[in-house]
A and B are shown apart, each in its own frame.
Chain A
Amino acid sequence: MGAERRLPTCDCHTPVRPPYCSLVSAGLYLEADANMPNHPDHDPPPLFRTWGRLYIAVLLVLLVMIVLLYWLTESYVEVRA
């Protein structure tokens, strides 16, 4: 008998309730792993590739919103002058 293959594990979902993540369903992962290396269900949306990029995008959106509101304010400050 060969050595039993040890699967990496995942704690995305409970063992008793679907839906399991794609890797658990495919039999590639078990539940209850604290580390989850390279686990696609924990990745950000593909457009951003990393969470860091997504966070930067959010902060840039905030910056754009502030600039737009500042522009709105300044436009009317000019009107008042």
Chain B
Amino acid sequence: MRTLDWIVLATYLGFIVYIGTSKGKGSQNTRAYFLADRTLPWWVMGLSVMATQASAITFIGTTGQAYIDGLRFVQFYFGLPIAMVILCATLVPFFYRAQVFTAYEYLEKRFDAKTRLLASILFILSRGMSLGVVMYAPAIVLSIILGWDIKLTILVMAATATFYTTVGGIRAEVWADVYQMYLIFAGIILCLIIIFLNLPPEVSLTDAAYLAGLTGHLRAIDPSINLHDEFTLWSGLIAGVFLMLSYFGCDQSQVQRYLTGRSLRESRLSLIFNALLKVPMQFLILSIGVLLFVFYQFEKPPMVFDARGVQQVQTSIYRDQFNELHSRYDRLLDERRQAATDTVAARHNGDAAALLRAKERYRALNAEIESLRRRSAELITQASGQTYNDTNYIFPTFVIKYLPAGLVGLIIAAIFAAAMSSMDSELNSLTTVTIIDIYKRHVKPQADEHHYLMVSRLCMALWGALAACFAMYVGALGSLIVAVNKVGSYFYGSLLGVFVLAIAVKQATGRGAFWGLLAGMASVALVSRYTTIAFLWFNLLGCGVVVVVGYLLSLTDPTAAEGGQPGRQTTATGLGTVPGGSAPKPESTVTADDAFNINR
């Protein structure tokens, strides 16, 4: 990082704080603080939805994954447009017309307080822990790039995001997301252009695609049916739909975005905007990784991209083996560069025999180099005692080594932006659920708006501090990170099942939904423990179990026979508050039947 890069990074951080605080000032009540008074246009919500989903790991991890594995990860997002259409037609009108602050608030309107409480607590536990991981994962990479201590990196990210979110609430956060998304888009486009311009002059874009295609890096679609592979066409189109439905329909960090819309139309359009943009955006991010792969056919890539691994192995008994691998790797790189050059030249000359020879040699060398990389990673794993994976370091290594001054700062700022845009949304949603679903509903239902606003700000700051502390120590917890991610996957599909029960199963009762939710989570935990089915399918499984168990239990529920549960209307304190007071607003309560009528 040179002086100009530091200036760019500092300018970005200052600008985001300024935008956040200036756009978000003046919130006088919780409706303004958590829902921006429901006045935002679709494109602002749409960009915020995208920014929330795009974490720093999406930026640096996805490019690294494409470098190794090609474009196939794009299939993971095929379910997103379908899920968006389903949500626009079903859940979005429900949430919008119910005038709720949180997705879980709707569950009390439809079922009962304990189902709402269970869903809220599950969300808080899952998101609260994952927020630490969301901060920690990019902080490791950024701390190495910036040469900062990891705790300082976490502190800078957490303090910045927490500050503007606490001051301005969701309006600050959403507008910060908008500018952060602009920066991310600019970063993606600039990277693509710069990598392409750094290819040898004789290599055109079609040559680059040809070389990438020879090693399978352009295999974007895999139509095979394999439950154990998460990146196939069918897992994306079927299981992916359930994952995206769960994430965008039941996760407060996303639901809260489209609840801020100035009309139902705006909320729907924000999701449609994502439906159209997400797959192309992921394709472009993955294309950076693929182009990087081609770029490194003509430049020398390090055998391992995370230098800490080399240091570990050099002080271990595996040092000689590693060095031997390294010298062989260096020799093979020279040969591969020649093979790649020969392939391009033969292609240009139209010499079929030479092309066949050159591309076979090129493929064989690539396979051998990949094998050496795998063996070196195994040695580092043995030396350090921890699984070694340098995927997340591939893109940052390129940025630091090959980009000019100023652009490095811009790309690092884009990685910061991606990290903070997810972080601020999670902070906001955690605070909203804590205040609306727990504090206002169960702890202090009768306070005035000034009190709730003050407590909300305090809570936001506390969540920021808590997440930063958790992120600072999460690395030492090792396998807990995996556990945290797993809890999220247990929770998502099952929660989706509860919402399906709520809107589609007329006979469903609170008892059915509550125990169905627990049964769904238990079933996913069991399948995860005893099978090797890819995690994408957990959402479908959890959702299915909740619906079946919930429905069956509801049939045996005496309250259903009395007609007290389905489509119930609740006027519990904390629901449907209006500006200037916390009075219940029973007229805004919707039943399942009402909403279906509205949809027609």
Binding site for B on A (CB under 8 A): 11-17, 19, 21, 32, 34-36, 41-45, 51, 54-55, 58-59, 61-62, 65-66, 69-70, 72-73, 75-77, 79-80
Q: Which residue of chain A has the shortest Cβ distance to B233 in the bound complex?
A: A66
Assess A80 versus B213: contact at CB under 8 Å? Given A59-B85, A62-B78: yes
Partner of B88, one of A11, A14, A51: A51
Question: Is the pair B579, A72 in contact by a Cβ cutoff of 8 Å?
Answer: no
* Top-6 shortest CB links A-B: A76-B213, A69-B220, A12-B263, A62-B81, A55-B85, A70-B221
Q: Which residue of chain A has the shortest Cβ distance to B597 in the bound complex?
A: A35
Pull 20 A–B residue pairs with CB atoms less than 8 Å apart, ordered by A.
A12-B262, A12-B264, A13-B38, A13-B262, A17-B39, A21-B262, A34-B598, A51-B89, A55-B85, A55-B89, A58-B81, A66-B221, A69-B221, A73-B220, A73-B221, A76-B210, A76-B213, A79-B210, A79-B213, A80-B214
Question: Is the pair B265, A72 in contact by a Cβ cutoff of 8 Å?
Answer: no
Question: Is the pair A11, B39 in contact by a Cβ cutoff of 8 Å?
Answer: no
| Residues of B contacting A: mostly | helix
Partner of B598, one of A35, A61, A69: A35
Q: Which residue of chain B has the shortest Cβ distance to A12 in the bound complex?
A: B263
Assess A59 versus B82: contact at CB under 8 Å? Given A19-B39, A54-B272: yes
Interface residue count on the B side (C-beta < 8 Å): 46
Known: A51-B88, A59-B81, A69-B220. 18 other contacts (CB 8 A): A14-B39, A14-B579, A15-B579, A32-B588, A34-B588, A44-B265, A44-B268, A51-B268, A55-B85, A55-B88, A58-B85, A61-B276, A62-B81, A62-B275, A70-B221, A72-B71, A73-B220, A79-B214
Question: Could you say which residues of chain A place their CB within 8 Å of the CB of B594?
Answer: 34
Question: Could you say which residues of chain A place their CB within 8 Å of the CB of B218?
Answer: 72-73, 75-76
Question: Could you say which residues of chain A place their CB within 8 Å of the CB of B99?
Answer: 11
Partner of A32, one of B88, B209, B587, B598: B587
Binding site for A on B (CB under 8 A): 31, 37-39, 71, 74, 78, 81-82, 84-85, 88-89, 97, 99, 209-210, 212-214, 216, 218-221, 233, 262-265, 268-269, 272, 275-276, 279-280, 283, 578-580, 587-588, 590, 594, 598
Question: Could you say which residues of chain A place their CB within 8 Å of the CB of B265?
Answer: 41-44
The distance from the CB of A39 to the nearest CB of chain B, in whole angstroms, is 8
Question: Could you say which residues of chain B place their CB within 8 Å of the CB of A75?
Answer: 213, 218
Question: Could you say which residues of chain A place their CB within 8 Å of the CB of B268?
Answer: 44, 51
Assess A19 versus B214: contact at CB under 8 Å? Given A58-B272, A69-B221, A77-B219: no
The distance from the CB of A53 to the nearest CB of chain B, in whole angstroms, is 12
Assess A34 versus B590: contact at CB under 8 Å? Given A14-B579, A66-B221, A72-B218: yes
The distance from the CB of B146 to the nearest CB of chain A, in whole angstroms, is 36
Partner of A17, one of B37, B89, B275: B37
Q: Which residue of chain B has the shortest Cβ distance to A77 in the bound complex?
A: B219
Question: Is the pair A14, B31 in contact by a Cβ cutoff of 8 Å?
Answer: yes
